[in-house]
Homo-oligomer: A and B are copies of this chain.
Amino acid sequence: MSFVPNQFDDVSIATIRTLAADVVAKANSGHPGAPMGMAAVAHVLFSRFINANPKNSQWFNRDRFVLSNGHGCALQYVLLHLLGYKLSLDDLKAFRQIDSKTPGHPEFHHTDGIEVTTGPLGQGISAAVGLAIAQAHLGATYNKDGFDLINNFTYVFAGDGCLMEGVASEAASLAGHLQLGNLIVVYDDNHISIDGDTNVAFTEDVPKRFEAYGWDVLHVDDGDTDLKSIYEAIAKARTTPTPTLIRLRTTIGYGSKQQGTHGVHGAPLKADDIQQLKTKFGLPADKTFYVPEDTYAAYKEVGVRGAELESKWNALLESYKSQYPTEHAELTRRISGKLPENWEKNLPVYTPADAAQASRKLSEIVLSKLVPAIPDLIGGSADLTGSNLTRVKGMVDFQHPSTELGTYAGTYIRYGVREHAMGAIANGLSAYGGIVPYVSTFLNFVSYAAGAVRLSALSGHPVIWVATHDSIGLGEDGPTHQPIETGAHFRALPNCAFWRPADGNETSAAYKWALTTKSTPSILSLSRQNLPNLEGSTIDNAVKGGYVVHEVEGEALTIVSSGSEVSIALEAASKLQAEGIKTRVVSIPCWLVFDQQPQEYRLSVLRSGAPILSLEALSTTGWQKYSHEQYGIDTFGASGPYLQVYEKFGITGTNIASVGKKVVDFYKKKGGDVVSPILKAF
């Protein structure tokens, strides 16, 4: 293939540049520099390479485009509009306004044609590695001779900021290891970041670094105007067997009087600057939001080509159906987002007679049942497989076949010690479709991935974190590895289901909920130590997020707890009972889900009439919502055998019984009604 210029190229690029300037100016907020600098490459990429149908942004085999430098989203919004996605000129005029389709950074699910949420630097390029893995995996799984059904590329635009972020380094190293030839990153090397020239902080040899990761690196020296070189670089990148970084030298804010300076990075251009810009590029200086007919015509053609591609693909899929009916049924089911019928019947059920086990082990048992039943599950761990217990029998590693360590059809990813990239990659796997990713590390190190977990929650990616060793119960590794604040952190994160199951049935319930939701990530907080199976726990109870695990009438005290401490609460209750103090026990494995239950139910669980004491081997922060009194750990933990650490922090049946007595006495002395803490004024 070689570059064939057309009559619309210049006017299209001029339109992108001036429209982006107008969009930012109208909002009086935003980043014009990157859109203007990257207009040429954007035009070449979208007009010549990207296979997508603007009229159906969900076509499964579309090329994925990720604007990792999401602050430059005026560029992406302009392109989506020109291409004919559901984004009008009025939407562009509402840039960065309340409830518009064009928020300050691109958001998945919010705007037609946005593949993943970007803006927090490094997230886009890392999620793109997930998109690329998804293609490689589904292609290897479902493509057949003559049926190259899943063969899209993933294209990324990224700036200096993204490449400085550690999460992107992690993801790029893994992408190189996995030899993801379907991944093409255009690095906008404009020598400018917010603090000014990149010379102040970023002087490493980026191409050499990416070569060290096993990437190809191509160079385009004039990214502002040299369409031919841009074209040739992208064309070449599509043919190489490794991921490619195209280092594109551009001028930030190209065409502005301030081009090439930090002044055009994050502030609108002045009116006179925009006017001279339009004049310079042959567009009327006095018109705003002006799109020449030629530009619309050029992009309409691109859309027509995309629609044809989809039609052909649909026909291919039909023909696949007759030759490979089983694979077709499975693939289309996966694309639809439905899990296999009756998958949940595989969930193990327990009685108190079953042996005590660590909830990480209970999780492994669930996975050992579900992985064979749900091919959508793609697991992995950040180098803690043997501790997280996430690689179940029969799983094959996802590896490039040349390594002989696995294949692209494999469903277990060796993420290496790269928690943050793992979280971002999982977002990409989920966004691609047809895949339900679960990832794992110690609960304490989910915090390393906080930026990615936040975007899971904001974007509604139902990623599952298998987060083991979830308290002081990990014992000897000590306070550097013992989470304290982690529960409060992720419970406070909107749309994040932090599950802390107490036993086997609750572990099954957590998986049941996590796999049923289509729009919420789950963190399964799991113990290293053994937990008994509780009388009173059932999947149906636990899947409500909270329930009474031990009921008595006329109680003097309720203890509300989660995870590994529920059995300790039950032990305390039984000691109190022996002293004539009637004590109920409530288990709340997931706050988010419990809060979604009807108030009547919640009030029946956390009822008025007696004080409620919370118990958890984590920070007490937030438990005030469900209890009058709180017992937990508001300092760092300690290194030692786990039972001794529990003893040190007073989390034993004996001590909690004694604390419970204090609570009962205090409320007796206080007098008056004891009202449920969830009864609220508004």
User: Measuring CB to CB, which residues of chain A are less than 8 angstroms from any residue of chain B?
Assistant: 27, 29-30, 70-71, 96-100, 103-105, 107, 117-122, 160-162, 164-170, 173-174, 176-177, 193-195, 199-206, 208-209, 211-214, 381, 383-387, 397, 399, 403, 405, 414-418, 420-421, 444-445, 447-448, 450-451, 454-455, 457-458, 475-481, 484-485, 487-495, 611, 619, 621-622, 624-625, 628-629, 634-636, 638-641, 644-645, 648, 659, 662-663, 665-667, 670, 672-673, 675, 677, 680-682
Contact B381 A195 (CB under 8 A): yes
Contact B682 A200 (CB under 8 A): no
Which residues of the partner chain B approach A489 to less than 8 Å between Cβ atoms? Answer: 450, 485, 488-489, 492
Contact B648 A98 (CB under 8 A): yes
Closest approach, in angstroms, between the C-beta of A616 and any C-beta of chain B? 12
Q: A166-B168, A200-B414, A488-B622 are in contact. List 19 more A-B contacts (CB 8 A).
A: A29-B475, A98-B638, A103-B479, A103-B638, A105-B478, A161-B383, A193-B416, A194-B385, A194-B386, A200-B416, A201-B383, A448-B451, A450-B489, A455-B480, A492-B622, A494-B619, A495-B635, A628-B681, A666-B681
A492 touches which of B478, B488, B611, B636 (Cβ 8 Å) = B488
Contact A619 B492 (CB under 8 A): yes
A170 touches which of B70, B107, B165 (Cβ 8 Å) = B165
Which residues of the partner chain B approach A122 to less than 8 Å between Cβ atoms? Answer: 417
Closest approach, in angstroms, between the C-beta of A572 and any C-beta of chain B? 14
Q: How far is the CA of A498 from the CA of B411 in the complex (A)?
A: 42
Copies in the complex: 2
- CB closest residue in chain B, given A619: B492
Q: How far is the CA of A448 from the CA of B126 in the complex (A)?
A: 14
Q: How far is the CA of A52 from the CA of B648 in the complex (A)?
A: 36
Contact B399 A200 (CB under 8 A): yes
- Given the known inter-chain contacts A622-B622, A639-B96, please indicate yes or no for A121 contacting B417, CB distance below 8 A: yes
- CB closest residue in chain B, given A173: B204
- CB closest residue in chain B, given A679: B670
- Given the known inter-chain contacts A194-B387, A212-B204, please indicate yes or no for A639 contacting B672, CB distance below 8 A: no
Contact B480 A30 (CB under 8 A): no
Max chain B CB contacts within 10 Å: which of A30, A624, A659? A624
- Given the known inter-chain contacts A477-B119, A492-B621, please indicate yes or no for A417 contacting B107, CB distance below 8 A: no
